[in-house]
């Protein structure tokens, strides 16, 4: 077991230097890696487990299988049906979360020190001995079908589905992880067993833990919890090209405010320019202080919010944004966004903007580590992203190292005003 001590205080030299965070690298006796921040002052543990793969592992014709399977993990395990399982969980006052995403399944848990062994054993059953009873399958399937129906008349969901389909076609990224009414209605118990076998795989697990537990106790816990999962899983999907050209797609939908989702190709998380792009986005559309917010909201009052964000997925990279304005005003909002995109691509940022963004990003970073649940999530996420343990120590230095020349070179290379595609849902005036 190696041990790494990181003084968070080093990162925030201009700020108060009082708290330290100590990340321990833990390897369980059975060989499962985890990162831990031991924090005994509150008698509970927060755990986050990210398993690579996710809904992208859905087999052909089985769209929605991983999502439905994950929804069934809390619906009965071992000798307990759904109600018996939940009754036991409630009695322990433990909480478990099971979520499917494009590239991962994420399991979160928090449990009290006083009944930790029982809470972990119950979670173990959910992960390794799910029952997939037919009545539970039918019940959760009906819930998913209800969500699919609701999304069909939700403007944001309509925009997202149209954008993804146009950008990624038949790749799993091209369709919603919920599946379609048809694909979900055809899923069987056997499909659940296959999806479970494929998605919950030990070699793809990333574990973060924080709270009232020692490294040794965590090692034992992990072997108990995950030891019975299969070691290897099916091959992950291929990388996919972003297949959408610049332009505007209008989807007619009777509602007073048009919503627009826009974007073009982005940058991979491990690209050497990622930090420059990340800071660039912070200035362009990353938060409340961005240029897009200034131009579209503060100066013109055209929207409540406009944002852009880099979305580096495992098999494709996107640069996405969103805005919503009344039908008669959305055309102006979109024109302003296109202008800002072009202005940034051409002229880049100035030194003052770069400095302000760096000050914000470096100052805000340590504030993320503010509770067991938050820390467990950060630790798991860093491992899933392939970051080294010393990233916490070095991250702000990476931000500081980005130069004006570098960020403006990246602005020219990354931002493609002509490649930006807007999907607009509503009844916009003045748009084709």
Partner 1 sequence: MRRLAALVLALGLASALHAEEVTTATLDNGLEVVVIEDHRAPVVVHMLWYRAGSADEPVGSSGVAHFLEHLLFKATDTLESGEFSDIVAANGGSDNAFTSYDYTGYFQRVAADRLPLMMRMEADRMNNLRLTEEDIVTERGVILEERNQRVENSPNALAREQMRAAQYLNHRYGVPIIGWKHEMETLDMDDALAFYDLYYSPNNAVLVVAGDVQPDEVIALARDHFGPIPAEPDLPERVRSQEPPQTAERRMVFEDPRVSQPYLTRSYIAPERDSGAQEKAAALTYLAELLGGSPFTSALGVALQFDSQLAVYTSAYYGGRSLDDTTFGLTVVPAEGVTLQEAEAAMDVAIADFLAEGIDPDQLERLRTQLRAGEVYARDNVQGLARRYGAALTQGLTVEDVQAWPGILQAVTEEDILAAAREVLDPDRSVTGWVVPSREVLQ
255 belongs to the binding site for partner 1 (CB under 8 A): yes
What stretches of 164-280 adopt beta strand conformation (E)?
205-211, 247-252, 257-265
Does 257 engage in binding with partner 1 (CB under 8 A)? yes
Kindly tell me which residue out of 30, 33, 143, 182 binds partner 1, with binding defined by CB under 8 A. Answer: 143
Count of residues in the chain = 432
* Nearer to partner 1 among residue 319 and residue 369 (C-beta): 369
Q: Is 325 in the site for partner 1 (CB under 8 A)?
A: yes
Residue 367 in the binding site for partner 1 (CB under 8 A): yes
What minimum distance in Å lies between the beta carbon of 255 and partner 1? 5
Residue 360: closest CA among 275, 283, 267, 274: 283
**Binder of partner 1 out of 39, 48, 103, 295 (CB under 8 A):** 39
Interface residue with partner 1, options 4, 112, 166, 236 (CB under 8 A): 112
The answer to whether the CB of 150 falls within 8 A of the CB of 250 is no
Say whether residue 314 binds partner 1 (CB under 8 A).
no
Which region among 16-24, 101-109, 126-134, 198-206 touches partner 1 (by CB under 8 A)? 16-24
Rounded least distance, CB 431 to partner 1, Å: 17
Single residue of 91, 234, 412, 430 touching partner 1 by CB under 8 A:
91
430 binds partner 1 (CB under 8 A): no
Q: For residue 343, give every residue at least 6 positions away whose Cβ sits within 8 Å of its Cβ, in sequence order, or none.
A: none
Q: Annotate 315-346 with b (16+ C-beta within 10 A) or e (fewer).
A: bbbbbbbbbbbebebbbebbebbbebbebbbe
Smallest gap from residue 101 Cβ to partner 1 (A): 22
Nearer to partner 1, 326 or 387 (CB): 326
Both tokens of residue 155? 């403007």
Of the pair 139, 343, the CB lying nearest partner 1 is at 139
320: Cβ contacts below 8 Å, ≥ 6 apart: 261, 262, 263, 266, 308, 309, 311
Rule CB under 8 A: is residue 299 a binding residue for partner 1?
yes
From the CB of 311, what's the least distance to partner 1, in Å? Answer: 21
> Which whole-number Å values give the CA distances from 381 to 27, 181, 207, 312, 362, in the listed order?
17, 32, 9, 13, 19
Q: Of 42, 193, 228, 397, which one interacts with partner 1 (CB under 8 A)? A: 42
Hey, which residues between 268 and 297 contact partner 1 (CB under 8 A)? 287-289, 294, 297
Among 5, 61, 153, 430, binds partner 1 (CB under 8 A): 153
Q: Find the binding residues for partner 1 in span 54-73 (CB under 8 A).
A: none
Residue 138 makes contact with partner 1 by CB under 8 A: yes
Taking contact as CB under 8 A, which single stretch among the options 12-20, 171-179, 187-195, 229-237 is the one that binds partner 1? 12-20
The residue from 4, 342, 373, 387 that contacts partner 1 (CB under 8 A) is: 373
Choose one: 126-134, 165-173, 227-235, 301-309; the region binding partner 1 (CB under 8 A). Answer: 301-309
Radius of gyration of the chain (CA): 23
Beta carbons within 8 Å of 134's beta carbon, 6+ residues apart:
189
Q: Which of 243, 371, 417, 419 binds partner 1 (CB under 8 A)?
A: 371
Check if the beta carbon of residue 141 is closer than 8 Å to that of residue 181. no
> Could you say whether residue 193 binds partner 1 (CB under 8 A)?
no
362 binds partner 1 (CB under 8 A): yes
**CB nearer partner 1, residue 18 or residue 231:** 18
Give one DSSP letter per residue of 47-110, joined into a string.
Answer: EEEEEE-GGGGPPTT-TTHHHHHHHHTTSEETTEEHHHHHHHHHHHT-EEEEEE-SSEEEEEEE
Report CA-CA distances (Å) from 205 to 52, 232, 233.
7, 11, 11
- Locate all alpha helices (DSSP H) within 227-364, ordered by sequence: 274-281, 291-292, 330-347, 351-364
Q: Pick from 337, 334, 355, 335: which is nearest to 400 by CA?
A: 355
Would you say 125 or 202 has its CB closer to partner 1? 125
Closest CA to 124 of 172, 88, 171: 88
Decide if residue 359 touches partner 1 (CB under 8 A): yes
């Amino acid at each position: 077991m190696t041990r790494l001590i990181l003084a968070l205080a080093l990162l925030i030299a201009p700020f108060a230097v009082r708290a330290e965070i100590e990340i321990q690298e833990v390897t369980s006796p059975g060989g499962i890696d985890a990162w831990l921040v031991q924090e005994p002052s509150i008698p509970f543990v927060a755990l986050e487990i990210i398993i690579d793969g996710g809904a992208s592992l859905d087999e052909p014709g089985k769209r929605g299988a991983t999502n439905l399977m994950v929804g069934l993990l809390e619906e009965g395990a071992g000798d307990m049906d759904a109600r018996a399982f939940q009754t036991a969980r409630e009695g322990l006052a433990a909480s478990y979360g099971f979520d499917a995403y494009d590239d991962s399944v994420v399991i979160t848990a928090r449990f009290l020190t006083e009944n930790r062994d029982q809470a972990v054993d119950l979670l173990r059953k959910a992960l390794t001995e799910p029952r997939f009873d037919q009545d539970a399958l039918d019940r959760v399937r009906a819930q998913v079908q209800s969500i699919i129906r609701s999304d069909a008349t939700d403007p944001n969901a309509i925009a997202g589905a149209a954008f993804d389909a146009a950008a990624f076609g038949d790749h799993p990224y091209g369709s919603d992880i919920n599946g379609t009414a048809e694909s979900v209605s055809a899923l069987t118990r056997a499909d659940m067993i296959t999806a479970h076998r494929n998605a919950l795989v030990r070699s793809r697990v990333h574990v973060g833990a924080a709270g009232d537990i020692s490294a040794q106790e965590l090692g034992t816990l992990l072997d108990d919890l995950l030891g019975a999962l299969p070691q290897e899983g099916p091959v992950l999907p291929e990388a996919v090209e972003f297949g959408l050209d610049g332009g505007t797609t209008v989807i007619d939908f009777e509602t007073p405010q048009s919503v627009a989702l826009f974007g073009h190709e982005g940058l991979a998380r491990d690209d050497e320019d990622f930090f420059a792009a990340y800071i660039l986005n912070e200035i362009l559309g990353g938060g409340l202080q961005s240029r897009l917010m200034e131009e579209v909201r503060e100066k013109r009052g055209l929207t409540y919010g406009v944002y852009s964000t880099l979305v580096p997925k495992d098999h494709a990279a996107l640069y996405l944004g969103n805005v919503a304005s009344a039908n008669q005003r959305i055309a102006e909002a979109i024109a302003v966004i296109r202008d800002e995109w072009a202005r940034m691509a051409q002229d880049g940022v100035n030194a003052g903007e770069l400095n302000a963004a760096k000050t914000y990003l470096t100052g805000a970073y340590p504030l993320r580590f503010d509770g067991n649940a938050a820390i467990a999530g950060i630790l798991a996420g860093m491992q899933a992203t392939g970051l080294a343990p010393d990233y916490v120590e070095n991250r702000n230095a990476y931000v500081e190292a980005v130069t004006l020349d570098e960020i403006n070179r990246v602005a020219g290379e990354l931002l493609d005003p002509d490649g930006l595609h807007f999907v607009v849902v509503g009844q916009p005036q003045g748009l084709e």
